[in-house]
A and B are shown apart, each in its own frame.
Chain A
Amino acid sequence: MKMDDPYKALGLTKSASQDDIKKAYRKIAKTDHPDLNPDPAAAERFKAASSAYDLLKDPDQRARFDRGEIDATGQERAQQKFYRDFAERGDNPYRQYSSAGYGDFSDVFDDLFGDDGRRGGFGGFRRSGAGGQGFDMRGQDARYDLEVDFLTAAKGGSTRITLPTGGAVEVQIPEGASDGQTIRLRGKGGPGHGQGAPGDAYLTLHVGSHPDWTRDGNDVTITLPITIDEAVLGGKVEVPTLDGAVSMNLPRGATTGQKLRLKGKGIKGGNQYVQLKIVMPPNVDQDLVEFMEKWRQENPYDPRGGMGV
Chain B
Amino acid sequence: MIRAAGWGCEMARYTAEELIATIDELTGPRLTHYVEMRVLQPVISAEGARFREIDRARARLLCDLSEDYGLDGDALSLVMQLLDEAHGLRGEMQALMAALAEEPDEARQRVIARIRLARAQD
A residues near B (Cβ < 8 Å) are 26, 29-30, 33, 35-36, 38, 81-95, 97-98, 100-101, 109, 112-113, 117, 124-125, 127, 129, 142-149, 159-166, 203, 206, 208-209
Confirm or deny: B88 has a beta carbon within 8 angstroms of a beta carbon on chain A: yes
Nearest CB on B from A189, distance (A): 10
Name B19-72 residues within 8 Å CB distance of A: 35-36, 38-39, 41-46, 48-50, 53-54, 57-58, 60-61, 64, 67-69
Q: Is the CB of B6 within 8 A of A206?
A: yes
Nearest CB on A from B104, distance (A): 19
Q: In the assembly, what is the distance between CA of A124 and CA of B39, in Å? A: 9
Nearest CB on B from A198, distance (A): 14
The one of B57, B81, B87 in contact with A125, judged by C-beta atoms closer than 8 angstroms, is B81
Known: A87-B88, A94-B41. A81 touches B57 (CB 8 A): yes
List A contacts of B96 (CB < 8 A).
Answer: 112
Determine chain A's interface SS by DSSP, over half rule. Answer: mixed
List A contacts of B95 (CB < 8 A).
Answer: 90, 113
List A contacts of B69 (CB < 8 A).
Answer: 30
Q: In the assembly, what is the distance between CA of A146 and CA of B38, in Å? A: 15
List B contacts of A89 (CB < 8 A).
Answer: 91
Closest to B41 in A: A97
Confirm or deny: B107 has a beta carbon within 8 angstroms of a beta carbon on chain A: no
The one of A81, A88, A97, A147 in contact with B50, judged by C-beta atoms closer than 8 angstroms, is A147
Q: Is the CB of B85 within 8 A of A100?
A: yes
Confirm or deny: B15 has a beta carbon within 8 angstroms of a beta carbon on chain A: no
The number of residue pairs between A and B whose CB atoms lie closer than 8 Å in the complex comes to: 144
List B contacts of A113 (CB < 8 A).
Answer: 92, 95
Could you say which interface size class chain B belongs to?
35 or more
Q: Is the CB of A33 within 8 A of B64?
A: yes
The one of B46, B68, B91 in contact with A90, judged by C-beta atoms closer than 8 angstroms, is B91
Q: In the assembly, what is the distance between CA of A160 and CA of B47, in Å? A: 9
Nearest CB on A from B85, distance (A): 4
The one of A33, A146, A208 in contact with B44, judged by C-beta atoms closer than 8 angstroms, is A146
Q: Is the CB of B36 within 8 A of A162?
A: no
Closest to B47 in A: A147
List A contacts of B50 (CB < 8 A).
Answer: 147
Nearest CB on B from A53, distance (A): 10
Confirm or deny: B78 has a beta carbon within 8 angstroms of a beta carbon on chain A: yes
Q: Is the CB of B53 within 8 A of A145?
A: no
Closest to B42 in A: A164
Q: In the assembly, what is the distance between CA of A145 and CA of B87, in Å? A: 21
The 9 lowest CB-CB distance pairs between A and B, nearest first, are: A88-B91, A87-B87, A101-B85, A86-B54, A147-B45, A209-B5, A83-B57, A83-B61, A100-B85
Q: Is the CB of B81 within 8 A of A100?
A: yes
Closest to B61 in A: A83
Q: Is the CB of B4 within 8 A of A30?
A: no
Q: In the assembly, what is the distance between CA of A93 and CA of B78, in Å? A: 17
